[in-house]
Structure 1
Amino acid sequence: MMMQRLGRWKGLGIAGVGVALLVGGCRTTPVSAETPGVVIRHADGSTEITREVVFAQSRLTRWLRVRELRRQNTGHGLLAPGITVQSTYGGTLRFEYRFCWFDAAGREVAADTDSWKPVTLRRGESKALDSVAPTPEVTAFQLILRVP
């Protein structure tokens, strides 16, 4: 009986550490198979699953819909992603986002260059969350969304 209690506490501790790491910001490795996928419902009716968008709190998955994900490059060879989100929350939704950048080896690039940006949306409103990679070495990104 005592071993079962210890096992439960150990499991809760491991889960707590995982949540703390996710809420804390970006990682040192790019999106992996452990990152839950987010469904994108495009205007044309098609859907896509991506691991480039991460909701730090599960309640945000009920309040925000990802409507579009754009992966493009600038004329200077910089990755310039854009994600359009739409609020499904019944009132005024306040959240923050930031982009994390990764090189071809999966290492985070310029970790301190992108700060949390606040957003306020009312039910049904959409917003494009756009950014440009800090260097041409960036080949991948991750967008983190959280409630402050």
Structure 2
Amino acid sequence: MKRMTTLSGAALLTAALAALTGCVETAGTTVTTDHMTGSSLVMEDSTRLRDQIQMLKVNYDEVNGLKRVHITLQSSKHRRLRLNYRIAWFDANGMEVDAATKTYRNLILEGRDTVTVTGLANSPACVTSKLRVRDLEAAD
């Protein structure tokens, strides 16, 4: 009977740890830029990332008829941050253009440092860009 109690206790502990591991917040910070109006919107879905990085400015221009966006991020922490980011492009109807080719990239941001990430649209039909940033540990 004692062995049965020990086994059921171990199973309960394993289930509890698995449930806690599944509660990692994978949402991140999203910066949406409308290249027609020039407006930018910051959505911070992760409370942890909201306290770690800030969006300082958004600039955009055109290169050979394709839109390009430059988004400057700043770390508000004194330690190194390991992040993933992805810049997605959308057409006038709000549909993502060529989503399969846009993967997340690694970004290491030193403490209190500032970095500018740049994305180039792959079609002249792109009118809006969206930067998604997520914590590297949460993405694994």
- TM-score calculated relative to the size of structure 1: 0.63
Structure with greater Cα Rg: 2
Unaligned runs of 5+ in 1: 1-18, 32-48
What is aligned with 1:44?
none
In 2, distance between residues paired with 1:81 and 1:103? 15
State the shift of 1:123 in Å. 1.5
Unaligned runs of 5+ in 2: 1-24, 33-38
1:61 to 47, 50, 63: 50
Query: What is the aligned-residue identity percentage?
Result: 26
What do the CA deviations read for 1:12-66 (whole angstroms, capped 9, x no partner)? xxxxxxx87x66xx9xxxx6xxxxxxxxxxxxxxxxx832x44452211111111
What CA RMSD, in Å, does the superposition of the two structures yield over aligned residues? Answer: 2.3
What is aligned with 2:132?
144
> Do the aligned partners of residues 55 and 94 (structure 1) sit closer, same or farther apart at CA in structure 2, a change above 3 Å counting?
farther
Secondary structure at the counterpart of residue 108 of structure 1: coil
> Do the aligned partners of residues 127 and 145 (structure 1) sit closer, same or farther apart at CA in structure 2, a change above 3 Å counting?
same
Secondary structure at the counterpart of residue 99 of structure 1: strand
In the alignment, structure 1 residue 80 sits paired with structure 2 residue 73: no
> Do the aligned partners of residues 142 and 108 (structure 1) sit closer, same or farther apart at CA in structure 2, a change above 3 Å counting?
same
What is aligned with 2:40?
50
In 1, distance between residues paired with 2:133 and 2:44? 5
